[in-house]
Structure 1
Amino acid sequence: MPPAHSTRPAIAFAVAAFGIGTFSLMDAAMKDLALAIGAYNAVLWRNGLGSLLTGVLFLGTRQRIPMLAVLKLHLWRSFIVALMAVSFFWSLTVLPLAEAIGLSFIAPVIALYLAAVLLGETIGREAIIASIAGLGGVAIILVGKFSGDYSDESLWGAAAVLFSAVVFAYNLILARQQAQQAGPIEIAFFQNLFTAAILALAAPWFFSMDATGEIPMIAAAAGLAIISLLLLSWAYARAEAQVLIPVEYTAFVWAALCGWAFFDEPVTLTTMAGTALIVGGSLVAARAKPKLVEHTEITTA
């Protein structure tokens, strides 16, 4: 068994922040795909191609097949990811990218307290401050974004985001548990493989071959998702969830930029004010100094 190793929380935070930025670019690619071929097909095709790419990494680095208990954890998280991804990416077809990300920020707050219940972590002062600042920033943004009348479709979109946010909060806790038992390449491969397999169960009703014309964008989304998953898995193996969860708030910065650059979605003064609070909260979290976390990879005999 390889020796355990530890990393400074600030380094893990920086790696997680870069992973969130990469994931936000993937969100933009997936919005484009969901508008073109539907959310279900976008997620299925992305994970199908992702399983092939990560499979090459898995075999090329001579990873061992994990133990049954770890495989069950991979399967369970993949089921959670499948629910979360389809609902969230469907919401992107009816909501602007930045607004959807803003609504989803309820997830890190829920996850901070799930970490205390499920992982036994102590909620530090910095994490609480980051949560309050992040929610304050989101509130400012949503006041500016969600004023006026809404269509029924927009309301359903908001409901889909909130559902995915609750599921995503639990997913963050699973990510922490998973990263303590498996390496990033193993996690990336089995999550892509199992998520694709779970979604394929609904293929007789929803699968479409029209997606073949979107292969370049699917490949881009799959590549960005893999890079993000590797970075976040590495970070979650080396720092407590309460340190890394607030970094999720920085996704709004990336979403606002991507929405403006790719979908002509405006960035307002309230967006910038809220973003300042979000980033400020994340910086507070980055300065936290909890104990270093050991990471041991599980291998089979």
Structure 2
Amino acid sequence: MSPLPSIAFKLSAVLLFTIMASFIKATADVVPPGEAVFFRSFFALPVIVLWLAWRGDLATGLRAKRPLGHVWRGVIGVSSMICGFAALGLLPLPEVTALGYAAPLMTVIFAAFLLGERLRVFRISAVILGLAGVAIVLWPRLTLDSVTSSAQLGVALVLISAALRALAQIHIRRLVQTEQTSAIVFYFSLTATLASLLTIPFGWTVPDPASAAMLVGAGLIGGVAQILLTSAYRGAEAALLAPFDYASILFAIIIGYAVFDEVPGGSVLTGSAVIVAAGILIIWRERQLGLKRGKARPGLTPQG
């Protein structure tokens, strides 16, 4: 079976997630991050439910063997989204996207500590290279006297968001051992919707019609993007599709320039290239190790 449809699904999902982020950024001065999370999660739910019903997977999507596991995954994910959405209001879109690439690097580190995965020299070297790329992106924020405190706060928030997203990935690795992907997708949106309501006391507002339309659009687009992402991984290996995540920096640069008049500096472009290179090295190495394990243990399932 050709992987081209899955690659197209993945690139479409990455583009839609970037557009979704631009909608959140455009409304950052109107609604607080917690309210944006509500719109992003609540309006994704009907899209996901209709998709599950169309596939005949609705019963599977509503079946949870580990309800508390879904709750914790939701709490971690919501916290990551709140920090990420807040950062979008403080930093240029390309910079938030580039710093967000720290998440896969952190996932490697957390997997070693929390899942007991081995950190080989190649992995460690690639992570160090990636973190060097993050430092390059951050360098102007750390050295220029003209940098505002809001920009520094944005940097801190996006890095916290990346760390929480990495923890969420670790949690998902545990969930997939007992839960269906459809259930993980559905209950994340449901938990995120309910958890975001807890931020009402922190100053929700009534958005103007244009902002409300963009927020609803962010939810609908996010739901469609999640479906495309799931469909992509149904038809091709994760190692093949993972590098296409980095197309988001290209989409972010184009949208940032066209919509927000943001021009990324040399440090963002250089650091992004270094981080992308490190990420692709990790993906390539994991693919090689996976092939070796497959040859050594041909009778085992992918879960081992």
Give, in angstroms, the shift of residue 19 of structure 1.
4.2
Query: Partners in 2 of 1:74 and 1:36 — Cα distance?
Result: 31
| Residue of structure 2 in register with 1:30 after alignment | 24
Give me the whole-angstrom Cα distance separating, in 2, the residues matched to 1:152 and 1:178.
38
Deviations 1:11-64 (A, max 9, x none): 999976664444223222211122332322211112111112212223343422
Residue among 270, 277, 280 paired with 2:277: 280
Question: More deviation in 75-84 or 111-120?
Answer: 111-120
1:168 aligns with 2:176: no
Show structure 2 runs of 5+ residues with no match. Answer: 295-300
Determine if the alignment matches structure 1 residue 88 to structure 2 residue 84. yes
- Is 1:262 the counterpart of 2:259? The answer is yes
Q: Residue 121 of structure 1 aligns to a residue in which SS?
A: coil
Residue 142 of structure 1 pairs with residue 138 of structure 2: yes
Query: Retained in 2: the 8 A contact 1:144–1:271?
Result: no
Task: State how far apart, in whole Å, the 1-side matches of 2:49 and 2:173 are.
Answer: 22
Deviation at 1:89, TM superposition (A): 0.7
Q: Distance in 1 between matches of 2:24 and 2:141?
A: 22
The CA deviation string for residues 233-253 of structure 1, in whole angstroms up to 9 with x for no partner, is 56789878x998887665444
- Deviations along 1:71-127, whole A, 9 cap, x unmatched? 222221111111111121112112212223333443322210211233343345554
| 8 Å contact kept, 2:99–2:137 | no
**Matching residue's letter, 1:192:** S
Q: CA separation of 1:128/1:23 partners in 2, compared to 1, >3 Å: closer, same or farther?
A: farther
Structure 1 CA distance, aligned partners of 2:122 and 2:11? 17
Root-mean-square deviation (CA, aligned residues, Å) is 3.6
Amino acid at match of 1:83: S
Distance 1:178 1:233, change over 3 A: farther
- Structure 2 Cα separation of the partners of residues 155 and 122 of structure 1: 34
Between the aligned partners of 2:273 and 2:230, the Cα distance in structure 1 is 27
**Aligned equivalents of 2:14 and 2:123: distance in 1?**
18
Cα distance in structure 1, aligned partners of 2:246 and 2:126: 9
Q: Which amino acid aligns with 1:161?
A: V
Within 1, Cα distance between the matches of 2:45 and 2:283? Answer: 32
Q: 2:36 aligns to what?
A: 42
Aligned residues with identical type, % of pairs: 25
1:202 maps to 2:165: no
Query: In the alignment, which residue of structure 2 is the partner of 1:4?
Result: none
One of 144, 150, 155 as aligned partner of 1:153: 150
Task: Name stretches of at least 5 consecutive residues in structure 1 with no aligned partner.
Answer: 1-6, 296-301
Q: Is the 8 A contact 1:33 1:217 kept in 2?
A: yes
Out of 98, 108, 117, the residue aligned to residue 102 of structure 1 is 98
Would you say the 8 A contact 2:17–2:222 is kept in 1?
yes
- CA change 1:114–1:233 in 2 (3 A) is farther
248 and 175 in structure 1: CA distance in 2 versus 1, 3 angstrom threshold: farther
Pick closer, same or farther for the CA change 1:231–1:289 going to 2, 3 Å: farther
Q: Is the 8 A contact 1:91 1:161 kept in 2?
A: yes
Q: 2:288 & 2:26 partners in 1: Cα distance?
A: 40
SS at match of 2:43: helix
Moved more, 72-81 or 22-31: 22-31
Q: Which residue does the alignment assign to 2:110?
A: 114
Amino acid at match of 1:203: I
Q: What TM-score, normalized to structure 1?
A: 0.77
Contact 1:109 1:131 in 2 (8 A): yes
TM-score, normalising length: structure 2: 0.77
Distance 1:173 1:236 in 2: 18
Q: Compared with structure 1, are the counterparts of its residues 138 and 113 closer, same or farther at alpha carbon in structure 2 (3 Å cutoff)?
A: closer
Q: Give the total of aligned pairs.
A: 287
Deviation at 1:164, TM superposition (A): 1.9
In 1, distance between residues paired with 2:9 and 2:283?
A: 11
